[in-house]
Amino acid sequence: MKQLLTLCAFAALPAFASEDIADQYPASELYSKPVEVIPHVWSAIGATAPPTYENAGHNNNLSFIVTGDGVVVVNGGASYALAKALNEEIKNVTSQPVKLVFNENGQGHAMLGNSYWAEQGVDIVAHVDAAAAFEESGHQSLRAAIATTKERADKTEVISPSITFEDAYIVEMGEMKIEARYLGPAHSPGDIVVWLPEQELVISGDMAFHERMLPIFEDTMTADWIETWETVFEPMGATYVIPGHGHPTNMDQVRRYTHDYLVYLRDKIGAHLDDGGTLADAYYVDQTPYTGLDTFEELATKNAGRVYEQMEFE
């Protein structure tokens, strides 16, 4: 029954969120028009591509929950304009006002839109580590956004979250119980998931990727990410997953493109190290099972190099 519900819920979603499609929703600053994933939970799916002028930096998922007593937004967005465009779409769905915004992590595409939401007087919530990361790198993220999206970044400022937490921030609003949870190390400092236990839906943020290759940053500890996935994230038992990037799906699919990719790459690099392989050669370990993913060309070699540097001293 759950499998049938999943198929029905996602059957009406757009066919692509591709790095080959510059903009799926030209009438809006958003890359795509929000879709209702399950009743009362909506998401504007970002491009599965690096940020560009054409996609206005909207390359992650911007979601919102209509609770019956206000709206909760998940992700501030990559700019003032994107956050404003999302709110315009929210107003087309409901007359309920936005009462709370969660930032899924400290990256620019999660927090730079805080400048709009703060102007609306909305509380903005993030993990303490995400807030610290944004405090350290937010101005660099803004400079990068301006360089890429030019005037589309107008009015965007570095605004930190107004509320921070360490383990969990739980909200009961209207007909919804919404749990923002820090599960452990994952893609970047302060990654959180937003869990709707009654709906069995998780807005995973960058804990989980779909349809595009994940990037491994210098501070992405891949072994820790795998452990968090196996011991905390997947045991939550989500039926529906809105990933940080890519279309809403189920746990089987995000496991395939996130957990299984990390395990695969670590196995390849581990064998390369056992054979006395060098960093220069590590960039070219076999990743052909994942060549069909968007951003493969941009990220595969970088990911291999960073995993080599990690595992060399494990």
pLDDT tens digits, 240-266 = 999 999 999 999 999 999 999 999 999
Q: What is d(CA 31, CA 141) in angstroms, rounded to the nearest whole number? A: 20
Type of residue at 312 = E
9 pLDDT band (50/70/90 cuts)? very low
pLDDT for res 314? 87
pLDDT in tens, 96-143: 999 999 999 999 999 999 999 999 999 999 999 999 999 999 999 999
Structure tokens at 51: 């940020």
Q: What is d(CA 123, CA 40) in angstroms, rounded to the nearest whole number? A: 21
What's the whole-number mean pLDDT along residues 49-71?
97
For the cut 90, the answer to whether the pLDDT of residue 20 exceeds it is no
3-state secondary structure at position 143: helix
Burial class (CB in 10 A: 0-12, 13-18, 19+), 45: buried
What's the whole-number mean pLDDT along residues 34-41?
97
Q: What is d(CA 177, CA 289) in angstroms, rounded to the nearest whole number? A: 39
Q: What is d(CA 84, CA 82) in angstroms, rounded to the nearest whole number? A: 5
Contact between residue 138 and residue 111 where contact means Cβ atoms under 8 Å apart:
yes
Contact between residue 178 and residue 171 where contact means Cβ atoms under 8 Å apart:
yes
Smallest CA-to-CA distance from 251 within 265, 230, 237, 232 is with: 237
What's the whole-number mean pLDDT along residues 268-280?
97
What's the whole-number mean pLDDT along residues 21-26?
91
Q: What is d(CA 96, CA 38) in angstroms, rounded to the nearest whole number? A: 18
Q: What is d(CA 302, CA 313) in angstroms, rounded to the nearest whole number? A: 18
21 pLDDT band (50/70/90 cuts)? confident
Which residue has 């790198």 as its token pair? 137
For the cut 90, the answer to whether the pLDDT of residue 3 exceeds it is no
Rg (CA), the chain: 19
3-state secondary structure at position 217: coil
For the cut 70, the answer to whether the pLDDT of residue 71 exceeds it is yes
Query: For the chain, what percent of residues have pLDDT higher than 90?
Result: 92
Structure tokens at 198: 């009654």
Q: What is d(CA 4, CA 7) in angstroms, rounded to the nearest whole number? A: 5
17 pLDDT band (50/70/90 cuts)? low
Q: What angle do CA 47, 51, 221 make, to 5 degrees?
A: 90
For the cut 90, the answer to whether the pLDDT of residue 222 exceeds it is yes
Type of residue at 236 = M
What's the whole-number mean pLDDT along residues 7-23?
59
Q: What is d(CA 228, CA 101) in angstroms, rounded to the nearest whole number? A: 24
Q: How many angstroms separate the Cα of 101 from the Cα of each of 106, 125, 180, 231?
A: 14, 6, 11, 27
